[in-house]
Amino acid sequence: MNSEKKPTRAEVEAAVKTIIRWTGDDPSRDGLQETPSRVAKALEEYFRGYDQDPEAILQKTFEEIEGYDEMIVLRGIRFESHCEHHMAPIIGHAWVGYIPDGRVVGISKLARVVDAYAKRLQIQEKMTAQIANTIQDVLKPQGVAVVIKAEHHCMTTRGVLKPGTDMVTSRMLGAFRDNPLTRQEFLAIVTEDSKTS
């Protein structure tokens, strides 16, 4: 993480005014007077993941699971992120699965981990690995699988202009990497679910 002092809200708003002027518009006109403040507030929301600790999110677990050791999959977790190259939106869904080893975590925590990483400047490959690695490191399950399918506005609304194109990434650890049948079962769940997402 950068050790430089974080800019103030006023500095961010001044930067937005500069950008408005750079586009050719007047930040003092009626419709734009409150835009710098609104943009600063939106940026706080878009990038709130920097203030969240994904490992801490997974700390509360449950061990009274009657020996349950089959796959757990949370399907179609919608997320919104921003690419670190153009700050353009990345909008997609994540499928997160794991095979517990004596303890489980509340399902909302899996969605929160996705959100904590999504709400940062990202590339999809890194985000996929971060989610899987964090679940593996904290829960120590028999295996973790993450698939992300997302549309990148840096290529659908600018640049190469290919709307309707999405990217799929995956990270398989433990049993999902080592056992082809386990991997196949997870990917079948993803494929079935992604047809309706």
Taking alpha carbons only, the member of 41, 49, 40, 42 closest to residue 119 is 49
Range list of β-strands (E), the chain: 61-62, 72-83, 89-99, 104-105, 121-122, 143-152, 167-174
Residues marked as catalytic? 83-86, 124, 152, 154
Q: How far apart are CA 11 and CA 15, in angstroms?
A: 6
Look at the chain and count its residues.
197
CA atoms within 13 A on the CB side of 171: 19
CA atoms within 13 A on the CB side of 156: 14
Taking alpha carbons only, the member of 115, 49, 48, 112 closest to residue 80 is 115
